[in-house]
Structure 1
Amino acid sequence: MFTREESKEIRKQFWIFFGKRYPRKWLLYNTGVKDLNLKFDFDNDKAIVSIDSESRDEIDRIYYFDKILSLKNLLLDEVSQNITFESEYILESGKLISRAYIQLEGVNINNKNHWPQVFDFMFENMSKLELFYIEYQDFIKS
């Protein structure tokens, strides 16, 4: 078991090493749509690459998630057959969002032996998700 400070330092090291391994600027929050973000997440049992509709306004949140859902077959073909779509996904903070995501299970951020696998998973899937978003952003934004 790690202390809060040790866990914080491990997370910091992970993201530093990820950035060194794949030194590029990711799209992430720069989608051009408020509260529609591409995200990385890695915790004690899984790694996730996602596109999140996070508006506190349910109508906006669902509107953009429906846009993503309307592209479901293209997402499955162009990004991954393993995408999960959840219109109501609750974050650890308790916030309700809508999320389309690819998940890698059985990995732990505290286990540095898992890092290379997660680096590759995140890079491959986020690269595809970004290209997909860039290709269809006009439709998603309209």
Structure 2
Amino acid sequence: MYSKEETQKLKREFWVTFAEKFPRKWLLYDTKIKDFSFKFYVDNKKAQVLIDIEPRNNDTRNAYFDKLEALKNILEEEFVADLVFERDYVLENGKTISRIWVEKLGVSVSNRQYWDEIFTFYNEKMNALELFYSEYDEFLKDIA
């Protein structure tokens, strides 16, 4: 068991190592769509690559989710299989967002032996989601 400080240091080292192995600028929050972002997540059970759709207005959130759902077959067949689509995902703080993600189970940020496996997963899946986004971003942005 790690102390809080040790855990923070380990996570910092994890992200620095990831950045060194895959030195590129990820899209993440720079989608040009307010409250629509790509994220990495890791804990001691899983690693995830996420698309979070977080507008406070439910109609806006649902419109973006509907656009992604309309592209689901293309997204899964040409870019990333095994995606989970959840229209109403409730965060720990109680906020409801829409989330689409792919995950790798059985890995741990606390165990360095999994890091390369997680890094490869992150690079492959996030790169694929970014390629998808670059191809369909105009369609996704048009919710008027």
TM-score, with structure 2 as normaliser: 0.94
The 2-side partners of 1:5 and 1:92 are apart by 22
The share of aligned pairs that are identical, in percent, is 45
5 Å matches for 1:63-142? 63-142=63-142
Say which is worse superposed, 28-37 or 54-63, in terms of deviation.
54-63
Paired residue for 1:47? Answer: 47
Runs of 4+, deviation exceeding 2 Å: 90-95
Two-structure CA RMSD over aligned residues (Å): 1.0
Give a deviation string over 1:78-137, Cα, whole Å, max 9, x none.
Answer: 222211101112233433211111100111111111100000000000000000000000
Amino acid at match of 1:71: L
Partner SS, residue 68 of structure 2: helix
Amino acid at match of 1:95: K
5 Å matches for 1:7-26? 7-26=7-26
The 2-side partners of 1:138 and 1:131 are apart by 13
Say which is worse superposed, 117-126 or 2-11, in terms of deviation.
2-11
Partner SS, residue 119 of structure 2: helix
Distance 1:92 1:2, change over 3 A: farther
TM-score, with structure 1 as normaliser: 0.96
The 2-side partners of 1:89 and 1:7 are apart by 27
Paired residue for 1:5? Answer: 5
Amino acid at match of 1:2: Y
1:62 matched to 2:62: yes
Give a deviation string over 1:18-41, Cα, whole Å, max 9, x none.
Answer: 000000001110111000001111
Amino acid at match of 2:30: N
Gapped regions of structure 1 (runs ≥ 5): none
**Length, aligned pairs only:** 142
Tell me how far 1:47 sits from its aligned partner: 0.5
Gapped regions of structure 2 (runs ≥ 5): none
Give a deviation string over 1:42-79, Cα, whole Å, max 9, x none.
Answer: 11211111111011221111111111111000110122
Distance 1:106 1:21, change over 3 A: same
